Amino acid sequence: MIFFSDFDGTLTKEGRELTRDFFDILDLIKTHGHELVIVSGRSLSWGHFFLTHFPLRACIMEGGGVILYVDDNGEIVQKPLVSQSEIDRLATFTTNLKDHFPGIPMSADSFGRLTDRAIEFHLMDAEWINDVENFMNLNKINFSKSNVHINFWAGEISKYLGVIQFMEKFRTDLKENDCWFFGDAPNDQSMFELFYNSVGVSNIHHCLERLSFKPRIILEGPENAGPKGVLNYIKGLC
């Protein structure tokens, strides 16, 4: 069995805090011989952090734009899932975006991103956010919101496409029914729409009405918020 999971708000408490529950999840999955793959909107550089600090074999970062994995020699390999021309188009657009909107609050980890960029939307008012999103639409740039960022990219990127390409490369032995996904945010919707075993931790209720596609299973109560919900649900599967 393999568990795919969003990171912020799903494996972290209230968006950012790592708790004992996260490490209990790692221990539980490892003890039962299963695998955890983090699927996050965070940057490529965060993927390197995950693979060097936690017992993980692979992760899918930048909203599905790049897979990172540890090869047989113990080296971290990164595999972008969009073309170089789209990566270059994104770089050009990002320069234009910053020129058009002086002072736009790019995320602190934007320098470590390859296939997408991120904006700290909580530092912006609603009108500014709307203007930025209209500018992206005008330039045919895709975007989505996580708990902390507006992520934007060129080309076809989604968590679902990243997961499918991961399965085709690394886990052809498993069927989709052997896999589970946990999430809590709008940028998890591709997984909620297309992945049957999708679970929303209880803090997803803050954005549930805004989701076009909802997880098949929605956990309830504060005892199932964030990593507590993931841990409780996995205990029932292992």
Q: What is the pLDDT along the chain (238 residues), one digit of tens a residue?
A: 999 999 999 999 976 789 999 999 999 999 999 999 999 989 999 999 999 999 999 999 999 999 999 999 999 999 999 999 999 999 999 999 999 999 999 998 888 899 999 999 888 889 999 999 999 999 999 998 877 789 999 999 999 999 999 999 999 998 888 999 999 998 899 999 988 999 999 999 998 998 999 999 999 999 999 999 999 999 999 8
Would you state the pLDDT for residue 15? 65
Would you state the pLDDT for residue 176? 81
For residue 2, give the nearest of 188, 195, 189 by alpha carbon.
195
For residue 41, give the nearest of 107, 130, 95, 105 by alpha carbon.
107
Would you state the pLDDT for residue 148? 75
Pairing of strands 117-119, 179-183: unpaired
Spell out a b/e string for 23-35, using b for 16 or more CB atoms within 10 Å of the CB, else e.
ebbeebbeeeebb
Say how far apart CA 96 and CA 173 lie, in whole Å: 45
Would you state the pLDDT for residue 14? 79
Pairing of strands 198-200, 217-218: parallel
**Inter-residue contact 11 to 39 (CB < 8 Å):** no
Supply 40's token pair. Answer: 């996050």
Supply 179's token pair. Answer: 């896999």
Distance of CA 127 to the CA centre of its chain: 26
Which domains does the chain carry? 2-81+157-237 (3.40.50.1000), 84-153 (3.90.1070.10)
**Inter-residue contact 144 to 185 (CB < 8 Å):** no
